[in-house]
Amino acid sequence: MNPNATVLKHPLIEHKLAILRDRATDNKLFRETLNELSYLIVYEITRDLALRPVRIQTPLAPCDAQQLAEQVLLVPILRAGLGMVEGILNLIPSAKVGHVGVYRDEQTLRPVEYYCKLPPGADAMRVFLLDPMLATGGSLIYTIGLLKDKGIRHITVVSVIAAPEGLDALHAAHPDVQIYTAMLDQRLNDQGYILPGLGDCGDRLFGTL
């Protein structure tokens, strides 16, 4: 087990993961559930976000309170990572969103970049890198390297399902990066898909089966 990886345990996470895995779940329910599950995961992993004191006025009296002191940046890996964005924005509406387009060559299983757009000042933000399926780890390893080349250092990987092979590869390439996932599955098959997994997340999100 990757020492920087945490598998989150919560009854609602388990329940929604079962819905995602079920092949009878249609595209609409799959999208809704992935957003809800992403909300739950990020709620669990944002306990260490920095706060700053503020003085506010309630309807009855002045009050000392706390507000977020960090700018959060969500970076979904296209296309499946897009399915996690809305749920997290519902929780952190002030978050900014960048995009990285990387696809896996089905022959070599190696990542191929085709798009990258990040907001100004991204290097000073707390980055949550979103990819529902941590399979071989190739796309995430490549994208983390890309973000580091742009000066970004505070990176947290957020996934839904991970394979042991992907966790090992990611830790070997980037031992400084924290990883959070809702489930550690058994293994990869010969095509590099997670077993038992949930199928192709992008296809199930967008109805391109």
Instruction: Name the DSSP letter for residue 80.
Output: G
pLDDT exceeding 70 applies to what percent of the chain?
99
Position 184 pLDDT exceeds 90: yes
The per-residue pLDDT of the chain, averaged, comes to 93
Position 109 pLDDT exceeds 70: no
Could you tell me if residue 36 is inside a domain? yes
Q: Which residues contact 185 (CB under 8 A, 6 or more apart)?
A: 161, 162, 163, 194, 195, 196, 197
Locate tokens 């990987």: which residue?
157
Could you tell me if residue 135 is inside a domain? yes
Q: What is the spatial distance between Cα 163 and Cα 133, in angstroms, rounded to a whole number? A: 8
pLDDT exceeding 90 applies to what percent of the chain?
85
Can you give the CATH number for the domain in which 197 is found?
A: 3.40.50.2020
Nearest 5 degrees, angle CA 84-CA 87-CA 154? 65
Query: Which residue range(s) make up the domain with 186?
Result: 5-46+74-204
Pairing of strands 62-68, 51-57: antiparallel
Count the Cβ atoms, other than its own, within 10 Å of residue 21: 16
Could you tell me if residue 209 is inside a domain? no
Could you tell me if residue 156 is inside a domain? yes
Could you tell me if residue 128 is inside a domain? yes
CB of 207 closer than 8 Å to CB of 27: yes
Q: Output the pTM of the full model.
A: 0.92
- CA distances for 16 relative to 21, 22, 68, 166, 173, angstroms: 9, 10, 28, 23, 31
- Higher-scoring residue by pLDDT: 112, 52: 52
Could you tell me if residue 58 is inside a domain? no
In this structure, the dihedral spanned by the alpha carbons of residues 34, 164, 177 and 152, taken in order and rounded to 10 degrees, is -60
Pairing of strands 178-181, 155-158: parallel
The count of structural domains within the chain is: 1
Instruction: Place 1 in a pLDDT band, splitting at 50, 70 and 90.
Output: low
Render pLDDT for 147-166 as a digit per residue (tens, 0 to 9).
999 999 999 999 999 999 99
Instruction: Name the DSSP letter for residue 132.
Output: S
Could you tell me if residue 17 is inside a domain? yes
Q: What is the spatial distance between Cα 13 and Cα 198, in angstroms, rounded to a whole number? A: 15
The predicted pLDDT at position 115 comes to 93
Could you tell me if residue 37 is inside a domain? yes
The predicted pLDDT at position 102 comes to 83
**Paired tokens of 209:** 């089966």
